């Protein structure tokens, strides 16, 4: 919330009319300096995937981050709900991911999405072809069973009294048999502009997994409640990421999914991050902490007009491998369990030990986004599982994840950490920084070189700073960055209210050209 205009009379006081000698000030450090974003670690992807991602980025003249992130979502679509990574003890991580890439318009997002996801649609069609005979057989069996039950019911209704009990029992048995016959639905791997209710239904129909892939990011609008009159229904997206049991028990439908696995690969415009960051429900319930974020630099204005095209062999290999991976895992009802080598486990543990201190609320570089960063090690394990599956397209569950694969996953996690910090900057995840900006606005319009904390409280919004202690973190941050300097409190020793703490103001704020 912006600060109120400053009344210059408020700052007037005889004790400020004759300030002491001006102190020496160094240039203040910006509150949110532009972050240096990590480059996408293309070398961390398996060879066939790395070659295709690089070729897509070249042909479309788009950042490699876009194709690389969507490639991870493609792997998650193929494996999500069908594999889990056994870290150690009872700690298991599913292999579904939520990935979002923020890019401005005119970055050929749709072209990249089509190239990366086309094999998934091909695999979906192959699954339909393979399962069509079973669907037809189930439909015929269900129809015959229903007709038999109806015939038995008619016969029982017309029977004589001494025959009716036996015939009624036969009719009931046939009716119950007809009810137990389940007709499989056509296989579906991908959903696009789907509501929470639709995603839940698809999960129930598709054996507990579905993927949402979109080049336009409509799902953020949906999760924010576009199609609901009340609070947005986030349950399926929260539980679909964690794999927690999902039960829907309403008048219109009853659905139960033991291990829901939702994957997402979406692209949004950068300003959408700011909008979703303002959604109190999405932030409060931890939805934003489940996404891996990428904010690549746009190449618009620097693109080649005649780029190299994707090689036929590179494209064919990518298509074949994605289809094989998808088809090979499609029929698993209980997820295939992938284990770690001791060396991979040690590498992940070492990474966890590096991350943990950064989660501290005070002083930790990830403390202000601990909801997201607290899931980082788990996300790393998930990525390692996906890279392992891409390396061993057949029988991956019979081989443990190697240390080198885990280190590749850690490099990807470090990339997502760099971009995640920038994304949460855009979403205003650090309230202390936001409040410090409000204080800076007041200080820059004060026209004074010194101010008391009590005077600041008068001019600041009580909605943002309800009490004086709420102002302390913002002032501490401003002092750390060199905008203000706290002064010793001069106590008179008498009764009454103690003097308010005072702060010298950096002359750059009140004299910008200085």
Q: pLDDT tens across 366-390, in order? A: 988 999 999 999 999 999 999 999 9
Average pLDDT taken over every residue of the chain:
86
The pLDDT value given to residue 340? 98
pLDDT at 117 over 90: yes
The pLDDT value given to residue 93? 97
The pLDDT value given to residue 32? 64
The pLDDT value given to residue 276? 74
Among 451, 449, 421, 426, smallest CA distance to 439 is for: 451
The pLDDT value given to residue 109? 95
Alpha-helical regions (H) of 342-391 = 342-355, 370-373, 376-391
Residues 6+ apart with CB under 8 A from 407: 347
Distance CA 81, CA 381 (A): 15
Torsional class of 42: left (φ above 0), alpha (ψ -120 to 50), beta (otherwise): alpha
Partners of 257 in the β-ladder: 246
Residues 6+ apart with CB under 8 A from 417: 38, 366, 373, 376
Q: Are 120 and 188 in contact (CB under 8 A)?
A: no
Instruction: Read off the pLDDT of each residue in 143-165 and give the average, rounded to a whole number.
Output: 84
Q: CA separation (Å) from 355 to 92, 345, 373?
A: 19, 15, 8
Could you tell me the strand order of the sheet in which 209-214 lies? 190-191, 209-214, 261-268, 98-102, 292-294
The pLDDT value given to residue 302? 95
Instruction: Read off the pLDDT of each residue in 254-266 and give the average, rounded to a whole number.
Output: 88
pLDDT at 149 over 90: no
Buried b (16+ CB within 10 A) or exposed e, 233-243: bbbbbbbbbbb
Distance CA 64, CA 49 (A): 12
pLDDT per residue over 163-202, tens digit each? 888 888 888 888 888 888 878 789 999 986 667 888 888 8
Instruction: Read off the pLDDT of each residue in 239-251 and give the average, rounded to a whole number.
Output: 81
Tokens read off for 265: 């690969």
β-pair type (209-214, 190-191): parallel
pLDDT at 227 over 60: no
Alpha-helical regions (H) of 106-160 = 109-158
Instruction: Read off the pLDDT of each residue in 267-281 and give the average, rounded to a whole number.
Output: 77
- The helix/strand/coil state of 137 is helix
The pLDDT value given to residue 425? 84
- The helix/strand/coil state of 443 is helix
The pLDDT value given to residue 279? 67
Distance CA 348, CA 381 (A): 8
The pLDDT value given to residue 14? 41
Among 255, 246, 194, 251, smallest CA distance to 219 is for: 194
- The helix/strand/coil state of 335 is coil
Residues 6+ apart with CB under 8 A from 135: 183, 184, 185, 186
Range scoring the smallest mean pLDDT among 39-48, 61-70, 237-246: 237-246
Q: What is the largest CA-CA distance in the chain?
A: 115
pLDDT per residue over 322-353, tens digit each? 999 999 999 898 999 999 999 999 999 999 99
Tokens read off for 111: 């072209």
The pLDDT value given to residue 95? 97
Tokens read off for 5: 């205009």
DSSP assignment of 448-514? -SEEEHHHHHHHS-TTT-SSGGGGHHHHHHHHHTTSEEEE-----SSSSSPPPPEEEE-HHHH-TT-
pLDDT per residue over 459-512, tens digit each? 888 888 888 888 988 888 888 888 899 888 766 665 656 778 889 989 888 775
Q: Which residue has the tokens 């319009």?
A: 445
Residue, of 210 and 363, whose pLDDT is higher: 210
Q: Are 487 and 503 in contact (CB under 8 A)?
A: yes
Q: E strands along 204-320, which residues?
A: 209-214, 246-249, 254-257, 261-268, 292-294
Tokens read off for 126: 């192959």
Residue, of 303 and 440, whose pLDDT is higher: 303
Q: Are 105 and 269 in contact (CB under 8 A)?
A: yes
Torsional class of 243: left (φ above 0), alpha (ψ -120 to 50), beta (otherwise): left
The pLDDT value given to residue 164? 81
Distance CA 358, CA 141 (A): 60
pLDDT at 57 over 90: yes
Tokens read off for 498: 């103690």
Tokens read off for 264: 């997402």
pLDDT per residue over 395-409, tens digit each? 999 999 999 999 999
pLDDT at 1 over 50: no
Residue, of 58 and 436, whose pLDDT is higher: 58
Could you give phi then psi for residue 188, rounded to 5 degrees? -145, 125
pLDDT per residue over 92-110, tens digit each? 999 999 999 999 999 999 9
Distance CA 223, CA 276 (A): 9
The pLDDT value given to residue 110? 94
Instruction: Read off the pLDDT of each residue in 235-239 and give the average, rounded to a whole number.
Output: 89
pLDDT at 135 over 70: yes
């Amino acid at each position: 919330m912006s600060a109120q205009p400053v009344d210059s009379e408020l700052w007037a006081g005889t004790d400020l009319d004759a300030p002491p000698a001006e102190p020496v000030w160094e240039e203040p450090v910006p509150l949110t300096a532009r972050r240096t974003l990590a480059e996408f670690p293309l070398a961390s992807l398996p060879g066939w995937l790395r070659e295709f991602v690089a070729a897509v980025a070249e042909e479309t003249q788009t950042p490699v981050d876009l194709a690389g992130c969507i490639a991870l979502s493609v792997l998650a679509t193929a494996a999500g709900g069908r594999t889990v990574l056994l870290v150690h003890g009872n700690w298991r991580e599913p292999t579904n991911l939520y990935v979002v890439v923020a890019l401005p318009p005119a970055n050929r997002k749709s072209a990249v999405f089509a190239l990366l996801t086309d094999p998934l649609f091909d695999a979906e069609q192959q699954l339909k072809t393979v399962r069509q005979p079973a669907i037809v057989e189930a439909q015929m069996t269900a129809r015959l069973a229903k007709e038999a039950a109806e015939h038995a019911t008619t016969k029982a209704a017309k029977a004589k009294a001494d025959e009716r009990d036996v015939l009624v029992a036969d009719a009931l048995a046939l009716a119950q048999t007809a009810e137990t016959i389940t007709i499989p639905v056509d296989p579906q791997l991908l959903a696009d502009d789907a509501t929470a209710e639709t995603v839940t239904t698809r999960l129930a129909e598709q054996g507990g997994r579905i993927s949402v892939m979109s080049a336009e990011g409509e799902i953020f609008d949906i999760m924010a409640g576009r199609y609901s009159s009340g609070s947005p229904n986030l349950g399926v997206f929260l539980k679909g990421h964690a794999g927690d049991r999902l039960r829907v028990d309403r008048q219109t439908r009853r659905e139960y999914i033991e291990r829901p696995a939702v994957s997402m690969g979406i692209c949004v415009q950068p300003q959408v991050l700011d909008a979703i960051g303002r959604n109190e429900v999405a932030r409060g319930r931890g939805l934003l902490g489940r996404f891996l974020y990428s904010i690549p630099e746009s190449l618009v204005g620097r693109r080649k007009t005649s780029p190299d095209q994707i090689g036929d062999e590179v494209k064919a290999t990518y298509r074949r491998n994605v289809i094989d991976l998808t088809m090979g895992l499609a029929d698993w009802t209980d997820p295939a369990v992938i284990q770690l080598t001791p060396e991979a486990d040690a590498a992940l543990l070492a990474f966890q030990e590096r991350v943990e201190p950064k989660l501290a609320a005070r002083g930790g570089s990830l403390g202000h986004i601990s909801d997201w960063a607290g899931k980082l090690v788990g996300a790393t394990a998930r990525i390692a599982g996906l890279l392992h599956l891409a390396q061993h397209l057949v029988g991956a569950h019979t081989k443990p994840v190697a240390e080198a694969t885990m280190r590749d996953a850690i490099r990807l996690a470090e990339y997502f950490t760099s971009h995640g910090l920038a994304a949460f900057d855009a979403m205003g995840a650090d309230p202390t920084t936001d409040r410090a900006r409000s204080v800076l606005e007041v200080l820059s319009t004060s026209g004074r070189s010194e101010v008391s904390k009590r005077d600041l409280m008068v001019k600041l919004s009580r909605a943002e700073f309800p009490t004086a202690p709420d102002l302390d973190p913002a002032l501490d941050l401003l002092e750390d960055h060199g905008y203000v300097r706290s002064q010793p409190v001069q106590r008179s020793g008498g009764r009454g209210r103690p003097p308010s703490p005072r702060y010298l103001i950096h002359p750059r704020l009140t004299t910008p050209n200085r």
